Structure 1
Amino acid sequence: MSFVGLFLSGAVLFLNSLLIVGKAEAKSVGVFNLFVGMIQVIIPFYLIITSEQSHWELYNFASIFLFGLTYLYFGITALMGLDSKGLGWFCLWVVVVAIVYTVTAIVHFHDGIGALTWGMWAFLWLLFFLSNTLQMKIDHFLGKVAFIQSWVTLTIPSLLYFMGIWNTPIVNQIWYVVMIGSIVYFAIGLFKLKISIILPASGKT
């Protein structure tokens, strides 16, 4: 996926994380989702049309649509106040696709950072499904995950790429630590969230 697209996605996910925790207004964030979403639907169409049409080129360009369509769907839902269950089901479909990209990053590309990144995105889209379709009360946790991922998987890697130091040995080592640390933090937060859900439920019985 283009690092320019990743950079824009970082901005969108950052704003969405603030919206989820009640720090931003839905309509203004929705407009930005639509703007970036349209860019990330138009650009991959252009790249596909002008490419050599090899299957791996199509595979890489197609991943951009996952983000573009999510932002368009999210933006329209926020702006029009639509029921979000449809958005959640779409996110579940994206989870399955993201898992395929995770496995492919390991098996075919031998890209550990890429696999961790896609795995984290799959987890984020899964949380959107749980929140929007199953109506689970996880917005605070979801907002934190989205906020961290907006920097760790999108914004900072893009900036490092623009500076020409992404994928250098030292940066790779540092980023393995950053991403594994983020995953551990998410796991701890998920455990605490599970406990907070179980305890009130058990107290009612």
Structure 2
Amino acid sequence: MNQVGLLYVGAVLLLNGLMLLGRVPARSAAALNLFVGALQCLTPTVLIIQAGGDQDAILGASGLYLFGFTYLYVGVANLANLEPAGIGWFSLFVAGAAVVYSGLSFWHDHDPVFGVIWLAWALLWALFFAVLGLGAERLTRFTGWLTVFFSQPTCTVPAFLALTGGYRPSAGLAWLAAALLAALTGVAALLARRAPEPRSVPAATAAAA
């Protein structure tokens, strides 16, 4: 996982979680989705070109496209006001792929921490499938809160640790990460049950609705 790209994935996940919670308009979130999506497509392409046929390097870069295509898709859909079902069904494919990358992290890369993180991402993409592909609106707030909560510990924090040379994967750290993510999932479930806070709606938005 390229750590520079991962840093900005944390930003776009945070924004998209807030979008699902109704805090950020979809069109306003589109630009960052396009920027990060483009970065997550350009970066693995460069890495694959420079790999010189090294299959491990190519495999490591290949997962970045899952993020790149997702965010480009979201950005374009938000700007063009497309139906979200396509993103949802694409997310089902990505969720399955994320489970495979999790297994590779555990047994091929010997990095149990990212094995746990890939599973967390698989859960998020599975929820995107349920909300956007199957229309399970009752899960929207839970998905929004979980996306907000997962954005930093699965992306920003490990990215900064890796960029500063402080990332040391171990079984103990993997269990700690799993416990933290499980706790955040519980908090997201509790918050999702609360009624959304009433907010004033700008006149332009109300007219558009």
Q: Same fold (TM over 0.5)?
A: yes
Separation in structure 2 between the aligned mates of residue 179 and residue 85 of structure 1, nearest angstrom: 30
- RMSD of aligned residue pairs (Cα, Å): 2.2
Alignment of 1:82-121 (within 5 A): 82-121=82-121
**What is the CA distance between 1:95 and its match in structure 2?**
1.0
Q: What's the CA shift for 1:79? A: 1.2
Instruction: Output the TM-score relative to the length of structure 1.
Output: 0.86
Q: Does the Cα contact within 8 Å between 1:160 and 1:166 map onto a contact in 2?
A: yes
The more displaced of 5-14 and 107-116 is 107-116
How far off its partner does 1:107 sit? 2.0
Q: Secondary structure at the match of 2:63?
A: helix
Q: Is 2:145–2:192's contact at 8 Å kept on the other side of the alignment?
A: no
Aligned to 1:176: 175
CA positional deviation for 1:162: 2.4
Distance in 2 between the 1:39 and 1:188 partners? 32
- The offset of 1:192, in angstroms, is 9.7
Counterpart code for 2:110? H
Query: Is the Cα contact below 8 Å between 1:152 and 1:179 reproduced in 2?
Result: no
Change (3 A) 1:48 1:153: same
Report the 3-state secondary structure (helix = DSSP H, G, I; strand = E; otherwise coil) of the residue aligned with 1:7.
Answer: helix
Shift >6 Å, 4+ stretches? 191-194
Distance 1:189 1:31, change over 3 A: closer
Residues in 1 aligned to 2:46 and 2:111: alpha-carbon distance in whole angstroms: 26
Answer yes or no: is the 8 Å Cα contact 1:13–1:146 preserved in 2: yes
Post-superposition offset of 1:164: 2.1
The Cα of 1:193 is off from its aligned counterpart by 7.3
Corresponding position of 1:163? 164
Partner residue in 2 for 1:146? 147
Aligned counterpart, 2:201: none
- 1:103-150 Cα deviation digits (max 9, x unpaired): 112222222101101100000000000000100021110011111111
Q: Which letter maps to 1:80?
A: A
Structure 1: which amino acid aligns with 2:102?
T
Give, in angstroms, the shift of residue 153 of structure 1: 0.4
In structure 1, runs of 5+ residues without a counterpart are 195-205
The normalised TM-score by structure 2 is 0.84
In the TM superposition, residue 168 of structure 1 has moved relative to its aligned partner by 6.6
Shift of 1:39: 1.4
Mean Cα deviation higher: 84-93 or 159-168:
159-168
CA distance in 1, matches of 2:179, 2:47: 33
Give the aligned residue type for 1:19: M
Amino acid corresponding to residue 163 of structure 1 in structure 2 = T
User: Counterparts in 2 of 1:1-205, with a 5 A limit?
Assistant: 1-137=1-137, 138-167=139-168, 173=172, 176-186=175-185
Partner amino acid for 2:29?
V
Contact 1:85/1:133, CA 8 A, preserved across alignment: yes
Query: Is contact 1:12-1:36 (8 Å) kept?
Result: yes
Residue 184 of structure 1: how far off its partner (Å): 4.2
Alpha-carbon spacing, 1:76–1:109, altered in 2? closer, same or farther (3 Å): same
Sequence identity of aligned pairs in percent? 33
